Amino acid sequence: MLEVAIIATMKALYPIVFLISFAPFALADGLPELGDYSATVMSPLDEQRIADEIMRDVYASSQVLEDPEINDYIDDLGHRLAANSPDKYQRFNFFVVKDNSINAFAMPGGVIGVHTGLLLAAKNESEVAGVLGHEIGHVVQRHLARMLARQKNDSVISMATMALALLAARSNPQLTGGALTAATANSIQKQIDYTREHEREADRVGLQILENAGFDTRAMPSFFETLQKGSRFSEGSAPAFLRTHPLTVERIADVRNRVEQGSFRVIQESAEFHFVKAKLLANIGTADSAINIFRINLQENNFSNEAAQHYGIALAMLRKNDLDGAREQVNWLRKNTVPNAMIETVATRIAVAGKDPAVAEQQYLEALGTYPEHRALIYGYAEHLLNSRQVDKLLQLIADKQSQFPDDPYFYELKARAYSTQGKSLLMHHAQGEAYARRYNLRGALEQMDLATKAQDGDFYEKSIVEARRNQLRQQLDDKRRD
């Protein structure tokens, strides 16, 4: 299945167990010049086309975490790091994968995924930043593009297909069966050998990015050791030709020696890092088991952020519909910690679960007054308005907020649902088509625009917009077919 396959090639090509070989302060020596395509037949445009194909399947995948707060945290962190990379013009797409293994991966065009297991395993924000910096290093040095270009396939899409097959093999060896021949396997092994040469480059670039972005480089060797422990349990599941070299004691020692040559830096951890970890933990296992973990942490003073423990308890109590207990935790948070949008998101969810629409709406309005650009609050309020059939308010909310998130497909999906309740067929199909376009599904977008042109409602202005958009999408699809 393509949507399952997409997540895994990325893992296979650049598993995070190759992460850190740092030389902290002389990091650019020996690196290839950015923009040098002498070793590749793949242009930046080719990379972007592959990235679009990948992102289409990322959006369709059930393995991708659909949580705006966690995704926004990773996206903000990733772009903060990317802004301190050698290539300021490279586009990036960051997302989170529902997978308990400690891993992250990159693909051409700046597509970078992070496993939930990595977020849970990281002891501090600098460790997560180091992982992302390493993957950004692979992208800006064009390692992934060069590796795929070595296949010299006839088209960019065939390169992407090869990558997807690799991913499927790593995540589920039985899934592909005989799809990968021995010759292909040998070719893949050569590619992995080739990429090992690039690990040192990605390490050096990644560490420089980390330093420039203001994170603690000393977090790297400690997480290296975490990765070594994690790899003991993950390597055996991969096909032999996709297995990575294990981390060694010598390599860890080398990293630690290099990093310790730098100066010490005290880093202020963001509350969001701790809240994201608590949110993930609150949704693992049963609600009661999660609550017990957080309470034991509080009793034993086993935490780096006390507020995150109470936040986790509130989420777990909400899971089991203990609304009074969840409210008690939110009240503690409001009294004892710095205000945070993620706390208010829990409060609004509690209000919605209380089934008092007026109270819930007031909570959303107050929270959005303080945090007007917090997507989880916007989504929650929009869904509340839709469920309470306040369609006009919903459409006004989207009109007010959509300009801040022009490429967010969910706003268009909400519009499509709102127009559906109003029986406005043309506008519904138009909005759904725009949602598909932003999920990189041009074929689905064009089909929706075709349906919109056939709708019996809509005025001349609306029909003209749809017709123009349909022509534009058809041209884009034709261009892709010619590539």
Residue 111 host element (H or E): strand 111-115
Question: What pLDDT, in 10s, does the model give residues 39-74?
Answer: 455 677 777 888 888 888 888 878 889 999 999 999
Q: Are 314 and 353 in contact (CB under 8 A)?
A: no
What does the DSSP assignment read for 390-407?
A: -HHHHHHHHHHHGGGSTT
Is residue 63 within 8 Å of residue 97, measured between CB atoms? yes
Angle between helices 460-482 and 425-438 (to 10 degrees): 30
pTM: 0.83
Nearest alpha carbon to residue 162 among 134, 131, 188 = 188
| pLDDT at 231 (0 to 100) | 56
Contacts of 358 (CB under 8 A, 6+ apart): none
Neighbours of 89 (CB within 10 A): 8
Query: Whose CA is closest to 141, among 210, 200, 192?
Result: 200
For the chain, the domains span: 2-259, 389-483
Q: Are strands 111-115 and 93-97 parallel, antiparallel or unpaired?
A: parallel
Question: What length is written for the chain?
Answer: 483
pLDDT mean over 166-172: 42
Please state, in angstroms and rounded to a whole number, the distance separating the CA atoms of residues 166 and 185.
Answer: 9
Q: What is the largest CA-CA distance in the chain?
A: 71
The class (CATH top level) of 389-483 is: mainly alpha
Whether the per-residue pLDDT at 143 is higher than 80: the answer is: no
pLDDT band at 9 (very low <50, low <70, confident <90, very high): very low
